[in-house]
Amino acid sequence: MENSVCNLYLVDYGSLAQLVIREGYRRLLIQAPDGLKPLYSCITSFLTNEVGGYLEIYLSSSPTYGACDIAYDEALRTSSEAIIHVGHTRYPWLTRSSIPVHYIPAFYNWTPSAEDIDLIVKALHEIKARNIGILASTQHVQSLSKLSEFLTNKGFETITPREEGFLDGQVIGCYYKHAERISNKIDAYLVVSGGLFHPLGLALIVDKYVFGYDPYRRTIWNATSYAKKILVKRLYLISKLKYSSIKEICIILGSKPGQFRIDLARRIGEEALMSGFKIHYVVSDKLDFDRMVAIDNALKSNIYVVTSCPRIPIDDLSDFYKPVLTPGEFYMLVHGVDKYVYPW
């Protein structure tokens, strides 16, 4: 475990080894997001040394975009007895499978420096914020207590939202209700996360400032400004659809167990039929621009509603030549709602 990569993230290797020993696993599939795949060597080395006996480990090279995106097919193909999913915590709405899934968080080994705090404080002072809701993606929740302490010492009041089934302050891309609940108690949100994904999702639905702090790049950015540009585009799309001639819609389900929302798809289908639309249901394991072209070539529907992940229409398919909506946006369309609804 002297590899420097192994020290970048805090992983409970001991508990993982005890789990494998206790369950008697001898064939495992290990899965991680691309950014955490360097931990594969750390995990396999530790398990090989600690578990003892014959241990067959398969490493998934496929991308995974969250706790909902589990490599069941690869585990089935390799006859793995369990899936070790690295980097996320349990997804509350995961469809059960015959193959156990064990979530092993990987926490970025980072403590905010004085320079980090100064950047954050400067941004918060510029909008005269005093009460701050602090959240983080899974890899950074362990830094929130220290961040709260530092901000308190600078004269701020901090609130960390809590939700059953989540770590304190944890945020995922398709669920923000616990963050919304504290909105009336704060002046702004601060989300610690690599990249734009998590702060942007929150900024789409709250009417308070949202700042994202990236501990890898050590930069702070205004997610609210970015979200406003997206909202203008999404709201314009929906307003145009309200006055267009829609005859057919296609409801797309994701086949991955954490993204297979059949009840949601059926509710959308019922709403569509009541609104006089013809409907198609489509199932797709992966959904990108090329797959959408293939689906549209086959069905030529007027609009498409994606039920697998609400970020796909916004982040990946916003420039598709036909309207691709989230479930929340479809709800706005059929019910004439003006306030933006995200995600479901």
Query: What does DSSP say about strands 209-214 and 219-222: parallel, antiparallel, or unpaired?
Result: antiparallel
- 148 and 170 assigned to the same domain: yes
Please state, in angstroms and rounded to a whole number, the distance separating the CA atoms of residues 176 and 161.
10
What is the phi/psi pair of residue 77, to 5°?
A: -60, -35
Mark the ranges of the chain whose per-residue pLDDT is less than 70. 1-3
Please state, in angstroms and rounded to a whole number, the distance separating the CA atoms of residues 130 and 187.
6
Domain of 252, CATH number, reads 3.40.50.11860
Listed residues 107, 140, 173: the one ending a domain: 107
- 262 and 186 assigned to the same domain: no
Listed residues 68, 84, 107: the one ending a domain: 107
- 194 and 250 assigned to the same domain: no
Do 199 and 210 meet the contact criterion of CB atoms below 8 Å apart?
yes
What is the phi/psi pair of residue 149, to 5°?
A: -60, -45
Listed residues 82, 107, 132: the one ending a domain: 107
Cβ count within 10 A of residue 320: 14
Q: What's residue 53's pLDDT?
A: 87
- 9 and 92 assigned to the same domain: yes
In this structure, which amino acid lies at residue 54? Answer: Y
- 102 and 119 assigned to the same domain: no
Would residue 181 count as lying in a domain? yes
- 122 and 150 assigned to the same domain: yes
Domain of 18, CATH number, reads 3.40.50.11840
Would residue 17 count as lying in a domain? yes
Would residue 343 count as lying in a domain? no
Q: What's residue 93's pLDDT?
A: 86
Domain of residue 97: give its range: 4-107
Give the side-chain half-sphere CA count within 13 A for 206.
28
Q: Which residues pair with 135 in a beta bridge?
A: 191
pTM of the predicted model as reported, rounded to 2 decimal places: 0.94
The answer to whether the peptide bond before residue 343 is cis (omega within 30 degrees of 0) is yes
Query: What does DSSP say about strands 56-59 and 9-10: parallel, antiparallel, or unpaired?
Result: unpaired
Please state, in angstroms and rounded to a whole number, the distance separating the CA atoms of residues 111 and 19.
29
- Among candidate residues 311, 314, 309, 305, the one with its CA nearest the CA of residue 334: 305
Q: What's residue 95's pLDDT?
A: 76
Would residue 344 count as lying in a domain? no
In this structure, which amino acid lies at residue 257? Answer: P
- 122 and 222 assigned to the same domain: yes
- 160 and 208 assigned to the same domain: yes
Would residue 234 count as lying in a domain? no
Query: What does DSSP say about strands 303-306 and 324-325: parallel, antiparallel, or unpaired?
Result: parallel
The answer to whether the peptide bond before residue 310 is cis (omega within 30 degrees of 0) is no
Would residue 253 count as lying in a domain? yes
* Joined tokens for residue 269: 């289908």
Q: What's residue 344's pLDDT?
A: 82
Would residue 239 count as lying in a domain? no
What is the phi/psi pair of residue 83, to 5°?
A: -110, 130
- 266 and 221 assigned to the same domain: no
| DSSP assignment letter at 114 | H
- 69 and 160 assigned to the same domain: no
- 96 and 121 assigned to the same domain: no
Please state, in angstroms and rounded to a whole number, the distance separating the CA atoms of residues 175 and 342.
9
Q: What's residue 3's pLDDT?
A: 67
Write 228-237 long-range contacts (CB < 8 A, 24+): 230/200, 230/204, 230/314, 230/318, 231/204, 231/340, 233/318, 234/314, 234/329, 234/340, 235/340, 237/323, 237/325, 237/329
Q: What is the chain's Cα-based Rg?
A: 22
Whose structure tokens read 């601060």?
A: 190
Q: What is the DSSP string of 285-313?
A: S---HHHHHHHHHHH--SEEEE-S-THII
- 173 and 252 assigned to the same domain: no
Q: What's residue 321's pLDDT?
A: 98
Quick check: helix, strand or coil at residue 333? Answer: helix
Q: What's residue 145's pLDDT?
A: 97
* Joined tokens for residue 307: 């039920």
- The number of domains in the chain is 3
Would residue 297 count as lying in a domain? yes
